[in-house]
Amino acid sequence: MKHLIIRFSFLISLAVPVFILPSCDNTGGSTNKETDLLLNEDNPATALTIGWYLPLDYLQKIVGPDFKPKTAKADTLGVLKLVITRGEQYVLKGNKHENFNSATLLIEVNKPKGLFKSPPKNIDNAYVCPVTIISESLPMAKIFHEYGFVTEQSMVSLQVNESDDRINVEAIISSGENKLIARCFFEDLPIDDRSHIMVVNQTRPMYKYFHGHEKYNRYLSGKGRIDAEGNTLLTTLGIQMIPYFFVLDTELLWAYDFE
């Protein structure tokens, strides 16, 4: 099966990397060495995840032959997620940097086997990551470049407002006349949770990856809609249906190491 190359009118063509995460400690930090990329308790981030269930054979064309999309619904559907994140500070290789906004496209896959001599243990989730949208001027973007991950530049914003017992969220990805706008709200109580993920680039045969801990307060029952103007990630992927789910993570901590 040929590897599907996605082309965006405001992005370049994509090579596909993979994304995986681990169960985190109370600080979100690494206990073995200085963590490459860290969000600590002093400056947690916020992330909105928007999800669709799509045919497995379609997702297989995107992830390529070395990965298998994970069955997420019925026997024929997998999951694609768009994760929009906003943070006021992050730590990269021990140095603090201010402010970032990013949008990451993820496809959940089965845990890869036989690709790495010493893969991370106890992985909760694995993802293929076709692209991360982030300002190329940010130091964070440079470490993704260093390890072969595809990044593209567009304006990304995430606004979260609380009123009474309701949280209203607006996320925007825009470039020129092309704009993707997500608006949703949450009225449920959050769940304190954590996960261990791993993210692998797909530079065959010399794969590289990052992995680490995530910790967050998660709201699971969002309701909302997406509007698109011009050519966007969704129109390029041919996604016309409304999202199946919206998830909001607050007090988000992470500790990623690149290998």
CATH of the domain at 28: 2.40.400
Structural domains counted in the chain: 1
Q: What is the pLDDT of residue 129?
A: 86
Whether 210 contacts 147, CB under 8 Å: yes
Phi and psi dihedrals of 80, rounded to 5? Answer: -115, 135
The answer to whether position 158 is within a domain reads no
Q: What is the pLDDT of residue 68?
A: 94
- Taking the CA atoms of the chain, what radius of gyration do you get in angstroms? 17
Whether 131 contacts 152, CB under 8 Å: yes
* Domain housing 124: 18-153+191-225+236-258
pLDDT averaged per 10 residues in sequence order, the chain, 259 residues: 39 41 38 80 96 94 91 91 97 95 93 82 89 92 90 94 93 93 95 91 75 96 93 82 93 95
Q: What is the pLDDT of residue 5?
A: 38
Q: What is the pLDDT of residue 151?
A: 87
Residue 219 bridge partners (DSSP) = 248
The answer to whether position 185 is within a domain reads no
The three state secondary structure string of 193-244 is EEEEEEEECCCCCCCCEEEEEEEEEEECCCEEEEEEECCCHHHHHCCCCCCC
Q: What is the pLDDT of residue 239?
A: 82
The answer to whether position 214 is within a domain reads yes
The beta-strand segments (E) located in 13-124 are 18-21, 37-39, 45-55, 77-92, 95-109
Whether 16 contacts 64, CB under 8 Å: yes
The answer to whether position 9 is within a domain reads no
Q: What is the pLDDT of residue 203?
A: 67
Phi and psi dihedrals of 258, rounded to 5? Answer: -100, 135
Q: Which helix (H) or strand (E) holds 61?
A: helix 56-63
Residue 72 CB burial class (10 angstroms; 0-12, 13-18, ≥19): middle
Gap between the terminal Cα atoms of the chain: 28
The answer to whether position 67 is within a domain reads yes
Cα angle 1, 111, 222; round to 5: 100
pTM for this prediction: 0.87
Whether 171 contacts 85, CB under 8 Å: no
Q: What is the pLDDT of residue 34?
A: 82
The answer to whether position 245 is within a domain reads yes
The answer to whether position 2 is within a domain reads no
The answer to whether position 29 is within a domain reads yes
The residue with tokens 């860290």 is 38
